[in-house]
Structure 1
Amino acid sequence: MLSAAIQILAFALALLGVLGATVATLLPNWKVSTNVWSSIMTPISQMQGLWMDCVWYSSGVFSCTMKNSMLSLPAYLQTTRAAMVLSCMVATFGLCLASLGKGHTAIAAGGCFILASFLCLVPASWFTNEVITAFLTTDLPESSKYQPGGALCVTFISAGFLLAGGVIFCLSCPGKRTRRPDYASSANPDRPVLYRDEQQRRELQTEQNSFEDEG
């Protein structure tokens, strides 16, 4: 089994991954606009997240609008929403298992962290591909083009932390330990090796047989 210090490091990496995934899920800058306006009353930055769309005006006003309608959202956005929430839940459950500090629960915690990592990576990659594809489309106006935002970077980094922590926890699996024999007969190598419990059982059986013979 790996040392306790390595497991503490894995727990810290997984904790950073959980916090990062949770923050990234709530951030509004999954994609940001590339168009910057010069007028005072027009927005200088537009950003869209999983749950809200925000606008930052040059006057310093920051306004956000919640995405209340599920049916109007594209498929990749709905999938990313569900996957990120599920990733945070699975990773949190993995932290609970890892805090127990036992061998088999550590393996289960590692599996949870690896699963949570893939639940971050797959939708984030799909989201990034959709943003880049729309950006490279020539028939869209500049005001409708977006580029990947900081929340995606946080998501990928958090997924890396979760994956690293999960792999370390899985490597902490205790191997099968074979019991070493108490003694072996060097004079007769073909004689089966006796373990301590088997030796005691046979000695007790021999004593019982001797008592029966004397009786």
Structure 2
Amino acid sequence: MASAGLQLLAFILALSGICGTITATLLPNWKVNANTGSNIITAIIQLQGLWMDCTWYSTGMFSCTLKHSILALPVYVQAARTSMVLSCILSALGICVSTVGMKCTRLGGDRETKSRTIFAGGLCFILSSVSGLIPTSWYVKEIVSNFWDPTIPEHNKHEPGGAIYLGFISTMLLFVAGVIFCTSCLKRHQGPRHYPPKQQGIQTTQSENSAGYNLRDYV
């Protein structure tokens, strides 16, 4: 019963992780650059994401432009696109597989088959978390290195946006869910070893026979 409860908790964490991963992939605030001039009307916030760049003016206007050219993007942005999409696909596959292998469902066949299925689902979540952690870490590294580079002008320096933090949290949720699924699968095969009843009966009979032979010798 405890294993089923842990699997249900892991499934909820995985659902939260995949929703956060998809949201972080689509959000435009991977980079944030706030420029405030002497006049408050000129204050703007520039947002850069994987798929579009947006500008938010202090007057309330908000405009976005899509990144149509793939080859014109930096290498880390192209890698982040690929890795985040792969993370979304793997997490979606993990949701489907783990639904079949969970103990609280009637799908997947016998216990041995469900055990292997839930392990495969947990492995998908772990791979999805790794695939999502690589681009977010690389993106943060590029932002920090550009921020401390003295050759880059101040208006071209950015800070990490909310999409990166959401990506980190989502990957951690997917990793925890994958570990719980794999651990609950392995626990089924671990346990105390007992001798079969037939072997115990044979050993008892043999001991009784040997004891009977010893008593006969004394008689």
Asked whether the two chains share a fold, i.e. TM above 0.5, the reply is yes
- Contact 1:98–1:109 under 8 Å retained in 2: yes
SS of equivalent residue, structure 1 residue 72 = coil
When residues 47 and 155 of structure 1 are mapped into structure 2, their CA distance, relative to the original with a 3 A threshold, is same
Quote how far apart the aligned CAs of 1:67 are: 0.2
Aligned equivalent of 1:18? 18
**Deviation of 1:43 (Å):** 4.9
3-state secondary structure, aligned to 2:73: coil
1:105 aligns with 2:123: no
Deviation at 1:138, TM superposition (A): 1.1
> One-letter code of the match for 1:81?
R
Identity rate, percent: 48
Distance in 2, Cα, partners of 1:162 & 1:37: 42
Q: CA deviation at 1:180?
A: 5.3
2:34/2:44 contact within 8 Å kept: no
Shift of 1:181: 1.7
Residues 89/38 of structure 1: CA separation in 2 closer, same or farther (3 Å cut): farther
Q: Tell me the CA shift for residue 36 of structure 1.
A: 2.3
In structure 2, stretches of 5+ residues that fail to align are 103-113, 208-219
Does structure 1 residue 188 correspond to structure 2 residue 212? no
> What does 1:1-215 align with in structure 2 at a 5 Å threshold?
3-39=3-39, 42-100=42-100, 101=102, 102-173=114-185, 174-175=188-189, 181-183=196-198, 184-185=201-202, 186-188=204-206
RMSD, matched Cα: 1.8
Change (3 A) 1:2 1:110: farther
Deviation, 1:88, is 0.3
Partner of 1:73, secondary structure, is coil
Q: Which moves more between the two structures, 10-19 or 98-107? A: 98-107
Give the drift of 1:35: 2.4
Q: Is the 8 A contact 1:38 1:44 kept in 2?
A: no
2:164 & 2:126 partners in 1: Cα distance?
18
Compute the displacement of 1:153 (Å): 0.2
Secondary structure (helix, strand or coil) at the match of 1:99 reads helix
- Cα distance in 2 for partners of 1:38, 1:18 equals 42
TM-score of the pair, normalised by structure 1 = 0.82
- Which has more helix, going by share of residues? 2
Report the 3-state secondary structure (helix = DSSP H, G, I; strand = E; otherwise coil) of the residue aligned with 2:36: coil
Measured after TM superposition, the shift of residue 34 of structure 1 is 3.8
